[in-house]
């Protein structure tokens, strides 16, 4: 059965109090919409349709970056969840498969749960997703009879017996596209909020003799985000799960609750992560690496046995080969550091290649930017860069070459050569003592005059 995902993302998210559309607020550094899309992608959908409204242009731009094939349709006015799904009708003309309705602000639904819904479609025309609520207070109740979903009762309309039901509505739904759109056409808006409710499909379907059922998932999967506080809770939940997974995979974290992960962090076994480390998006770490405290990484790769930090910053395009050492207050950007090379203290390496086993002295800077363009620096294998060297790119330092401490290197250094680029030192015998005496005498005169 081919599948079309319809992901509702038009709501304003008033309680977020933000210029950014709610579904673009990030959880673990990916828009919450991306989390929902990722779960849906596990079903290999033929079509993915995002219903956007508030901030539609921003949503459209974000969606095109997440999945080029996803389509965005516009819901100009937010007239309710059924009306929102109806906006996908035109795009799905002639589509013969199933529609699965997801919410862009319900990011944690799992691929397994969606698969359960698809499976249940073998037995029923319409499948809702429910969950056993710890505190069912505010949710609509799913009234089941055996395997059959009889109706959804909103809390305010529920009898005492119905209020005792803890099986609640997540809002997610699956059904044959044609059936869903036929039923939506019959939904009215004569209710308290004057909205077209997707939940009305249950009763309409039953009236037409269609089979309706519900499957169950963990309550955490249906967690919705409506405020910054809930966003923070959602992020915390994601972090807790991601850390637990990594610990299971054999990663050591000395203080797991202080390690901030991204949605796509990949970390190999026997890697050790010290407290207070931040993973931005796109970081992969092989096995047996050591990431020391207060390091911040994004879009970079760290190979087996490499050591990073404390206080290191790895920016996009940093590629550390095996057994490299990146020490404190070092920033690496768009640079490959070859096997066994060391950049141990206080350096900026940008747009560079650092050869095998090269040693970069403290305070070395690749001067890669001339104010208009970026230029590359190449450092050969086993080169030794003296402390406080300025490498004015474009420039190359050869294999086994050296630069003297404090050198400003503006020309290439051939293999095996030594570059010295600094003013020559001259010593003046006794001059320091004379200078000090002179200055002290001057200070004494000034103090006397002031009295």
Is residue 389 at the binding interface for ligand UD1, with CB under 6 A as the rule?
A: no
Q: HSE, CB side, 13 Å, CA atoms: give it for residue 69.
A: 9
Instruction: Quote the least distance from Cβ 69 to Ca ion, whole Å.
Output: 27
Total of residues contacting Ca ion (CB under 5 A): 1
Of residues 170 and 347, the one with the C-beta less far from ligand UD1: 170
Whether residue 388 contacts residue 401, with contact meaning beta carbons closer than 8 Å, is answered with: no
Residue whose C-alpha is closest to residue 18's, from 227, 196, 206, 203? 227
Which positions from 216 through 275 interact with ligand UD1, judged by CB under 6 A?
Answer: 224
Query: Do 383 and 355 form a contact (C-beta atoms < 8 A)?
Result: yes
Q: What is the CA radius of gyration of the chain?
A: 31
198 forms part of the interface with ligand UD1 (CB under 6 A) = yes
State how beta strands 272-273 and 252-253 pair. Answer: parallel
Among 97, 224, 282, 421, indicate the residue that binds Ca ion (CB under 5 A).
224
- Euclidean distance between CA atoms 206 and 149, whole angstroms: 9
**Candidate list 11, 175, 350, 355; residue touching ligand UD1; CB under 6 A:** 11
**Of 341, 276, 334, the residue nearest 306 (C-alpha):** 341
Please state the separation of Cα 256 from the chain's center in Å: 18
- Provide the minimum distance between the beta carbon of 224 and Ca ion in the complex, in angstroms, as a whole number: 5
Closer CB to ligand UD1, residue 233 or residue 410? 233
CA-closest candidate to residue 51, choices 67, 31, 33? 33
Nearest distance from residue 199's CB to ligand UD1, in Å? 5
Residue 34, interface with ligand UD1 (CB under 6 A)? no
- Least Å distance between CB 95 and ligand UD1? 20
Instruction: Return the number of other C-beta atoms located less than 10 Å from residue 114's C-beta.
Output: 26
Residue 26 touches Ca ion, criterion: CB under 5 A: no
103 binds, options Ca ion, ligand UD1, none, Cβ within 5 to 8 A by partner type: ligand UD1
Any contact of residue 230 with Ca ion (CB under 5 A)? no
Position with the least CB separation from ligand UD1 = 11
Question: Could you tell me the two tokens for 213?
Answer: 């059922």
List the catalytic residue out of 25, 54, 301, 345.
Answer: 345
The yes or no reply on residue 83 touching ligand UD1 (CB under 6 A) is yes
250: left (phi over 0), alpha (psi -120 to 50) or beta: left
Concerning whether 83 is annotated as a catalytic residue, the answer is no
Name the pairing type of β-strands 141-145 and 148-153: antiparallel
Binding residues for ligand UD1 (CB under 6 A): 8-11, 51, 53, 75, 78-81, 83-84, 103-105, 139-140, 169-171, 197-199, 224
Binding residues for Ca ion (CB under 5 A): 224
Active-site residue list:
345
């Amino acid at each position: 059965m081919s599948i079309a995902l319809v992901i509702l993302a038009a709501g304003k998210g008033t309680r977020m109090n933000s210029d950014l559309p709610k579904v673009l607020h990030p959880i673990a550094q990916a828009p919450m919409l991306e989390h929902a899309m990722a779960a849906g992608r596990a079903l290999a959908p033929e079509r993915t349709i995002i219903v956007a409204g508030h901030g539609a242009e921003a949503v459209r731009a974000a969606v095109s970056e997440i999945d080029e094939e996803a389509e965005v349709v516009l819901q100009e006015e937010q007239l309710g969840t059924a009306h929102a799904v109806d906006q996908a009708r035109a795009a799905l003309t002639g589509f013969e498969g199933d529609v699965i309705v997801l919410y862009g602000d319900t990011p944690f639904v799992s691929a397994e749960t969606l698969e359960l819904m698809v499976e249940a479609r073998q037995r029923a025309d319409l499948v809702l997703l429910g969950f056993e609520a710890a505190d069912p207070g505010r949710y609509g109740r799913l009234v089941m009879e055996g395997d059959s979903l009889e109706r959804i009762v909103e809390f305010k309309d529920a009898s005492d017996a119905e209020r005792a039901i803890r099986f609640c509505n997540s809002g997610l739904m699956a059904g044959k596209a044609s059936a869903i759109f036929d039923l939506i056409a019959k939904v009215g808006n004569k209710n308290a909020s004057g909205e077209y409710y997707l939940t009305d499909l249950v009763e309409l379907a039953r009236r037409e003799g269609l089979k309706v059922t519900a499957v169950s998932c963990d309550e955490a999967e249906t967690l919705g985000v409506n405020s910054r506080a809930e966003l923070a809770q959602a992020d915390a939940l994601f972090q807790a799960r991601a850390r637990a997974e990594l610990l299971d995979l054999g990663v050591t974290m000395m203080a797991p609750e202080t390690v901030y992960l991204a949605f796509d962090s990949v970390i190999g076994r026997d890697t050790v992560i010290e407290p207070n480390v931040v993973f931005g998006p796109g970081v992969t770490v092989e096995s047996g690496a050591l990431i020391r405290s207060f390091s911040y990484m994004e879009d970079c790769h760290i190979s087996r046995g490499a050591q990073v930090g404390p206080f290191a910053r790895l920016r996009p395009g940093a590629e550390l080969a095996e057994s490299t050492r990146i020490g404190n207050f070092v920033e690496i950007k768009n640079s490959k550091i070859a096997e066994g090379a060391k950049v141990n203290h206080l350096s900026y390496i940008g747009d560079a290649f650092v050869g095998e086993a090269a040693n970069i002295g403290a305070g070395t800077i690749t001067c890669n930017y001339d104010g208009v363009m970026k230029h590359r620096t190449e450092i050969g294998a086993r080169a030794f860069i003296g402390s406080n060297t300025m490498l004015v790119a474009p420039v190359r330092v050869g294999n086994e070459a050296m630069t003297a401490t404090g050198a400003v290197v503006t020309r290439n250094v051939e293999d095996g050569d030594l570059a010295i680029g600094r003013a020559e030192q001259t010593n003046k015998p006794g001059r320091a003592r004379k200078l000090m005496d002179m200055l002290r005498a001057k200070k004494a005169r000034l103090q006397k005059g002031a009295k």
